[in-house]
């Protein structure tokens, strides 16, 4: 039966994360972006929300039942509403945990999942993106070759969050004509974390390029053992996560512009009373709502165990475009003030433009 | 006669500026984006002699003399056409640095538009001599930008009638720091001599750099064009000579129709196509870079192929290019009319609307088409996207210029269509 009402439990998650977003993330977001660093207590508080542990079953140290993409999506929207850099920072361990949860061998789950969820926030990460125009998750240039019981991995990665501190990496590489993932521990020979990257947006999130020169790992580090992974299915958890974050960012921009437009006067009345402004706001709200519903639908298919690649891809593509449009309009509605960094809308535009290049940067 | 031939002197000038852009502006563009509080003295000192030689203006549009060709036929004026090309090419180099170019700028334009011959001489002479100088224009206030008639900064006469006393706060003054403090320049300040008179009471005043009572209180941190200073300036019992009111002093007493305010609007008719040109300079930079970057990676644009057979990237590139061309032709028409001495307010606003939109769209699309690299600060494209965004905002937002276009097309007054 079709319903758009969150369950009581879901509503509780939404409310809790929203409170954290408004009280903790928002007030610190400007400075985090300018100084390119996130205060540790914000991350610690965010970790206390227990989002990842609640997605991990008890037998692996968490307190969750079944992993639900839909729950993750509801939380991700609120985190995105708070601040995108902080959201991506907090969700970085997911990049390591969710794939292991879905595809890991029993041994891999036993080994890694408790480390991820039993203590405080622990930096584990993944490396998918490559610093090349032709980057394609189905045809990676990072290559893994098996010799006996050992894999030799060589390549160049980019946009790996928290790589400088990460205790272990999930590195995606091409093996034959499939994409597989490999667990590589910090300090493994041949793995070099390069300088911190700089992008137009998500400036508070430390991301890095990685070089892998003949990195040798035992075959047991291949995610899923002999079975391996289905990259498309796995990426669906990323697509819906990014779509949800985009919805959160855009909703923030819409609300800010709406409130501003009702209070700012020009020519003797609130600017919102001009159709030029009111129609923009109406369109923004329509697009945010539509993108949210597409994201929910894709996450629902995932949780039902359907092949959700089509829905997830549509949701992400739609949300990418929506986030740019909505944040750009928000800047316009604020006029000259929208161009000034003291107002968050210009930051949201810089972040919003990034979604089309963010692949594998978040997972729920 | 319809003709799209670019005059040779303009081609030469554009060639020269392109070289300047490649060799001087592009190499330092990233540095100044990241060090927004530093002034680009290397660029300023390099360009100043050229500007100074021309008396702070690129081309004398109003020198009065008819120019003739070798057959003695009057040669058409190309001053604004030249200016649009100069501004476009400089912005192609770097829009932030372009805005730091010493010279009369917006303040000079206001003096040009509203000053008496004596005032033009007195205020503009400086741009042809000595050290680099700037002039800025201060209209916007914290509570009003689009609604220029609502400004609250006041100018009242001193008891002895020899001075104006200015009080109020201006924000977002482009080059305000350079004009008011860091050079022997000036700021043209719009203030009201009679708050009850609305538009009619608003007049332009020249405040010389360093005048007591004028203080730069803040420099904004911006999305883009970061190297260009954007200043808040407070006037606190700031006293200036009586004859620093632009236009003949009599306007204050006799002119209820307010030459002053109309002057502001006239200034915009002249400068809006130049803002549009600047926007399109950035857009062209992004477009050219993207096309050649993609070409190196095997993406070719097949103009002749049917739309349903184009690839998505091909389609995007064609869209970007056609949008850019549409904007540029609107600019050319607006400045050509200006040169011919024809009324161009409609064309100026049409060009500004289109260019503001095109620059935003083209640069945003460029970031996307370049993939992870496009979003990265390794390339300049992400900066161009941020720089471009201002053009749909200042000198009349996209909405205000659409209103101007619509009113003129529909024959409505500002009261009938708001
Ligand atoms: C009523 C009215 C009358 C005007 N009359 C004139 C007039 O008679 N003459 C006139 O020139 N403008 C005139 N203008 C335009 C106005 O004065 C400004 O030129 C224009 O508004 C742009 O200001 P600017 O000083 O930055 O432009 P300019 O200095 O003329 O040029 C644009 C930019 O390019 C730079 N630049 C110019 N030439 C070169 C060059 N060769 N190499 C490198 N950089 C260069 C400038 O410093 C400037 O930043 C008039 C405007 C109005 C409203
Ligand atoms: C970097 C920068 C440089 C600047 N340089 C200068 C300068 O040198 N000198 C100067 O004086 N000013 C300058 N400005 C100010 C600029 O011109 C104003 O910001 C601009 O005119 C808009 O005014 P506002 O910001 O007050 O927006 P508002 O007027 O508050 O407008 C807010 C929104 O409402 C819309 N709106 C307003 N009225 C209507 C209406 N009737 N119908 C439909 N929509 C409407 C606007 O389009 C905008 O989207 C600068 C601004 C910036 C950001």
Q: What is the structure's pLDDT at B249?
A: 58
By C-alpha distance, which of A206, A260, A257, A198 is closest to A85?
A: A206
pLDDT confidence of residue B328:
98
Mean pLDDT over A290-314 rounds to 97
B145 contacts A199? CB cut-off 8 A: no
Q: Give the Å distances, CA to CA, from B8 to B21, B71, B82.
A: 20, 18, 10
pLDDT of residue B62: 46
Name the residue among B237, B134, B228, B139 with its Cα closest to residue B186.
Answer: B134
What is the reported pLDDT for A285?
A: 98
Q: Tell me: do B187 and B286 sit in the same domain.
A: no
Which residues' Cβ are closer than 6 Å to ligand 1?
Answer: B 17, 47, 50-51, 57-62, 79, 83, 86-87, 90, 101, 103-105, 108-109, 112-113, 266-267, 270-271, 274
**Smallest CA–CA separation between B14 and chain A, in Å?**
30
Mean pLDDT score, A152-168? 98
pLDDT tens digit sequence for B270-316 = 889 999 999 999 999 999 999 999 999 999 999 999 999 999 999 99
B275, B253: one domain = no
Q: Per-residue pLDDT tens for B139-198?
A: 999 999 999 999 999 999 999 999 999 999 999 999 999 999 999 999 999 999 998 888
Residue from A283, A285, A307, A238 nearest A91 by CA: A238
In the numeric block, the tokens 């000595």 are attached to B130
Question: How many Cα atoms are found within 13 Å in the side-chain-facing hemisphere of B64?
Answer: 1
Q: Which residue has the higher pLDDT, A205 or B250?
A: A205
Q: What is the CATH number of the domain that holds B378?
A: 1.20.140.10
Map residue A79 onto helix, strand or coil: helix
Ligand 2, residues B36, B135, B140: which to mutate, most atoms within 8 A of Cβ? B140
Residue A189 has pLDDT above 80, yes or no: yes
Q: Does the pLDDT value for residue B247 go beyond 90?
A: no
Q: What is the pLDDT of residue B78?
A: 84
On chain A, the residues whose CB falls within 8 A of the CB of B392 are: 332
The residue among B226, B257, B288 that closes a domain is B257
Chain B interface mutation, best of A129, A194, A336, highest count of B Cβ atoms under 10 Å: A336
d(CA B174, CA B178): 9
Which of A19-28, A56-65, A102-111, B215-224 is predicted with the least confidence, judged by mean pLDDT? A56-65
Residue A39 to residues A24, A30, B268: CA-CA distances in angstroms?
10, 12, 46
Bridge partners of A157, per DSSP, are A210
Tell whether A133 is within 8 A of chain B (Cβ): yes
CB B237 within 8 A of CB B211: no
Does A357 contact B371 at a Cβ distance shorter than 8 Å? yes
A184: β partners: A169
pLDDT at B57: 58
CA of A283 to the centre of ligand 2 (A): 22
Consecutive H or E run containing A170: strand A168-175
Q: What is the per-residue pLDDT across B68-117, written as a single tens digit (0 to 9) for each?
A: 666 777 777 888 999 999 999 999 999 999 999 999 988 998 898 888 99
Phi, psi of A286, deg, nearest 5: -60, -45
Same domain, B194 and B281: no
Within a domain: residue B389?
A: yes
Q: What distance in Å separates the CA atoms of residue B137 and residue B233, rounded to the nearest whole number?
A: 11
CA-CA distance, B187 to B205, in Å (whole number)?
A: 8
Mutate to test the interface with B, among A194, A266, A343, A346 (most CBs of B within 10 A): A266
The predicted pLDDT at position B58 comes to: 43
Marked catalytic residue, from B34, B131, B395, B416: B395
Non-local (6+) Cβ contacts of A194 within 8 A are A208, A209, A210, A211
How far, in Å, are A16, A20, A201 from residue A44 at the CA level?
A: 15, 12, 23
Mapped onto helix, strand or coil, the DSSP state of residue A99 is helix
Residues of B in contact with A339 (CB under 8 A): 222-224, 389-390, 393
3-state secondary structure of B190: strand
Residues A24-60: tens digit of each pLDDT: 999 999 999 999 999 999 999 999 999 999 999 999 9
**What is the extent of the structural domain holding B380?**
262-410
B93 Cβ under 8 Å from any chain A Cβ: no
Nearest alpha carbon, ligand 1 atom 6? B61
Domain containing B182 — which CATH number? 2.40.110.10
B141 given a catalytic annotation: no
Atom 32 in ligand 2: which residue has the minimum CA distance?
A335
Average pLDDT, chain B: 92
Subunit contact B293:A135, Cβ cutoff 8 A: no
**Cα–Cα distances in angstroms (integers) from residue B247 to residues B111, B114, B241, B258, in the given order:** 9, 5, 14, 10
Residue B59 pLDDT greater than 90, yes or no: no
8 Å CB contact of B397 and A332:
yes
CA proximity to B264, closest of B33, B106, B35: B106
- CA nearest B229: which of B187, B182, B278, B173? B173
Q: Is a pLDDT exceeding 50 seen at residue B257?
A: no
Torsion sign over Cα A248, A250, A253, A255: negative
Tell whether B108 is covered by a domain: no
B237-241 average pLDDT score: 98
pLDDT at B251 over 90: no
Helix (H) or strand (E) holding B165: strand B163-174
Q: Are residues B267 and B406 in the same domain?
A: yes
A59 CB neighbour count, 10 Å cutoff:
10
How would you label B159-178 residue by residue, b for 16+ Cβ within 10 Å and e otherwise? eeeebbbbbbbbbbbbbbbb
Mean pLDDT of all residues belonging to chain A = 97
- Asked whether the beta carbons of residue B390 and residue A340 sit closer than 8 angstroms, the reply is no
Q: Tell how strand B135-138 and strand B186-192 pair up.
A: parallel
Is the pLDDT assigned to residue B235 strictly greater than 90? yes
The total of structural domains in chain B comes to 3
**How many Cβ pairs within 8 Å bridge chains A and B?**
111
* Ligand closest to CA B43: 1
Residue to probe by mutation, ligand 1, list B270, B273, B343, most atoms within 8 Å of CB: B270
On whether both B98 and B204 belong to a single domain, the answer is no
d(CA B391, CA B99): 12
Cβ atoms < 10 Å from Cβ of B298: 8
* Residue B99 sits at the chain A interface (C-beta within 8 Å): no
Helix (H) or strand (E) holding A175: strand A168-175
- pLDDT at residue A287 tops 80: yes
Q: Phi, psi at residue B234, to the nearest 5°?
A: -105, 135
Phi-psi region of A23 (alpha: psi -120 to 50; beta: other; left: phi over 0): alpha
Domain spanning A231-357 has what CATH number? 1.20.140.10
Three-state secondary-structure class, residue B230: strand
Q: Do the beta carbons of residue B187 and residue B214 sit within 8 Å?
A: yes
- CA of residue B393 to ligand 2 center, whole Å: 6
Domain membership of residue B23 (yes or no) is: yes
Asked if residue A187 has pLDDT above 90, the reply is yes
pLDDT of residue B60 exceeding 50, the answer is no
In DSSP terms, B135 is beta-bridged to: B186
Q: Which of B257, B286, B315 is the last residue in one of the domains?
A: B257
Q: Is A262 left (phi over 0), alpha (psi -120 to 50) or beta?
A: alpha
Average pLDDT (A293-304) is 97
Residue A297 burial by Cβ neighbours in a 10 Å radius (0-12, 13-18, 19+): middle
d(CA B395, CA B267): 10
Claim: this prediction has a pTM higher than 0.80: yes
Q: What is the CATH number of domain A8-117?
A: 1.10.540.10
SS3 of A178-220: the string is EEEEEEEECCCCCEEEEEECCECCCCCCCEEEEEEEEEEEEHH
Judge whether B109 lies within some domain.
no
Position B199 scores a pLDDT of 85
Q: How far apart are CA A222 and CA A227, in angstroms?
A: 9
Residues A361 and A322: their CA atoms lie apart, in Å, by 18
Under DSSP, is residue B202 helix (H, G, I), strand (E, B) or coil? Answer: strand
Q: How far is A339 from chain B (nearest CA, A)?
A: 5
Answer for the pair A116, A127: CB distance below 8 angstroms, yes or no.
no
Every domain of chain A and the residues it spans: 8-117, 125-221, 231-357
- Tokens 């932030």 correspond to B96
Note whether B271 and B110 are within 8 A (CB): no
Q: How far is B393 from chain A (nearest CA, A)?
A: 6
- State which fold the A125-221 domain adopts: Butyryl-CoA Dehydrogenase, subunit A; domain 2 (2.40.110)
CATH number at residue B42: 1.10.540
Q: Are A330 and B392 in contact (CB under 8 A)?
A: no
Single out the residue in B103, B126, B160 at which a domain terminates: B103
- Tell me the per-residue pLDDT of B36-56, one tens digit each, with 9 for 90 and over: 999 999 999 999 998 898 876
Chain B residues touching residue A330 (CB < 8 angstroms)? none
Cα separation, A72 vs A56, in Å, equals: 12
- pLDDT band at residue A186 under the 50/70/90 scheme: very high
- Is B223 found in the same domain as B164? yes
Q: Which two tokens stand for residue A173?
A: 């590489």
Give the pLDDT mean for B255-277: 75
Contact B264, B138 (CB under 8 A): no
Query: Is B140 close to A336, i.e. CB distance below 8 A?
Result: yes
């Amino acid at each position: 039966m079709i319903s758009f009402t969150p369950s009581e439990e879901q509503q509780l998650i939404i409310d809790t994360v929203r409170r954290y977003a408004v009280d903790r993330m928002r007030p610190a977001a400007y400075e985090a972006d300018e100084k390119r660093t996130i205060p540790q207590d914000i991350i610690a508080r965010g970790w206390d929300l227990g989002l990842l542990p609640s997605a991990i079953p008890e037998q692996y140290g968490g307190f969750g039942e079944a992993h639900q993409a839909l729950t993750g999506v509801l939380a991700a929207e609120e985190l995105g509403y708070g601040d995108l850099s902080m959201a991506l920072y907090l969700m970085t361990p997911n990049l390591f945990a969710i794939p292991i949860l879905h595809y890991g061998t029993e041994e891999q789950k036993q080994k890694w999942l408790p480390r991820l969820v039993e203590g405080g926030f622990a930096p584990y990460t993944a490396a998918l993106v490559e610093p090349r125009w032709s980057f394609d998750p189905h045809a990676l240039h990072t290559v893994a070759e098996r010799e006996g019981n050992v894999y030799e991995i060589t390549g160049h990665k980019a946009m790996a969050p928290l790589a400088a501190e990460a205790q272990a990496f999930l590195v995606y590489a091409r093996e034959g004509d499939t994409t597989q993932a490999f667990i590589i521990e910090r300090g493994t020979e041949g793995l070099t974390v390069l300088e911190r990257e700089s992008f137009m947006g998500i400036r508070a999130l430390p991301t890095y390029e990685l070089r892998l020169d003949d990195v040798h790992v035992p075959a047991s580090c291949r995610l899923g053992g002999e079975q391996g992974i289905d990259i498309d299915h796995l990426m669906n958890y990323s697509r819906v996560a990014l779509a949800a974050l985009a919805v959160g960012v855009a909703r923030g921009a819409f609300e800010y512009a709406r409130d501003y437009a009702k209070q700012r006067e020009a020519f003797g009345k609130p600017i919102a009373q001009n159709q030029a402004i009111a129609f923009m706001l109406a369109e923004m709200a329509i697009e945010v709502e539509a993108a949210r519903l597409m994201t929910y639908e894709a996450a629902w298919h995932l949780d039902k165990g359907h092949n959700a690649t089509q829905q997830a891809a549509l949701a992400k593509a739609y949300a990418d475009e929506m986030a740019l449009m909505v944040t750009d309009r928000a800047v316009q509605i604020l006029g000259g003030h929208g161009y000034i960094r003291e107002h968050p809308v210009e930051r949201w535009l810089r972040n919003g433009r990034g979604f089309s290049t963010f692949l594998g940067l978040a997972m729920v | 006669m319809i003709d799209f031939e670019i005059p040779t002197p303009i081609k030469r000038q554009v060639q020269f500026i392109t070289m300047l852009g490649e060799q001087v502006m592009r190499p330092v563009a990233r540095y100044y984006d990241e060090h927004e509080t530093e002034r680009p003295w290397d660029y300023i000192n390099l360009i100043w002699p050229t500007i100074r030689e021309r008396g702070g203006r690129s081309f004398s549009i109003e020198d009065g003399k008819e120019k003739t060709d070798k057959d003695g036929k009057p040669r058409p004026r190309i001053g604004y056409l030249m200016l649009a090309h100069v501004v476009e090419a400089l912005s192609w180099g770097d829009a932030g640095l372009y805005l730091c170019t010493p010279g009369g700028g917006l303040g000079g334009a206001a003096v040009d538009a509203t000053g008496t011959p004596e005032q033009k001489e007195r205020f503009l002479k400086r741009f042809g001599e000595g050290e680099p100088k700037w002039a800025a224009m201060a209209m916007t206030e914290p509570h009003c930008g689009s609604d220029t008639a609502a400004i609250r900064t006041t100018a009242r006469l001193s008891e002895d009638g020899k001075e104006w006393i200015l009080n109020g706060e201006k924000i977002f003054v482009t080059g305000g720091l350079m004009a008011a403090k860091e050079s022997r320049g000036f700021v043209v300040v719009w203030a009201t001599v009679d708050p009850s008179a609305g538009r009619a009471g608003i007049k332009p005043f020249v405040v010389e750099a360093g005048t007591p009572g004028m203080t730069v209180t803040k420099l904004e941190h911006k999305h883009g064009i970061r190297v260009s200073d954007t200043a808040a300036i407070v006037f606190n019992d700031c006293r200036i000579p009586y004859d620093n009111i632009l236009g003949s002093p009599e306007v204050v007493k006799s002119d209820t129709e307010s030459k002053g305010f109309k002057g502001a609007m006239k200034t915009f008719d002249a400068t809006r196509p130049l803002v549009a040109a600047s926007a399109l300079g950035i857009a062209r930079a992004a477009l050219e870079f993207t096309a050649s970057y993609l070409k190196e990676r095997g993406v070719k644009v097949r103009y002749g192929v049917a739309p349903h057979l184009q690839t998505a990237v091909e389609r995007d590139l064609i869209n970007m290019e056609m949008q850019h061309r549409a904007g540029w032709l609107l600019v050319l028409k607006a400045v050509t009319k200006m040169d011919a001495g024809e009324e161009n307010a409609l064309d100026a606003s049409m060009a500004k609307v289109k260019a503001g939109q095109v620059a935003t769209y083209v640069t945003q699309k460029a970031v996307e088409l370049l993939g992870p690299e496009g979003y990265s600060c390794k390339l300049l494209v992400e900066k161009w996207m941020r720089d471009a965004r201002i053009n749909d905002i200042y000198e009349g937002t996209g909405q205000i210029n659409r209103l101007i276009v619509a009113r003129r097309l529909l024959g409505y007054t500002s009261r009938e269509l708001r």
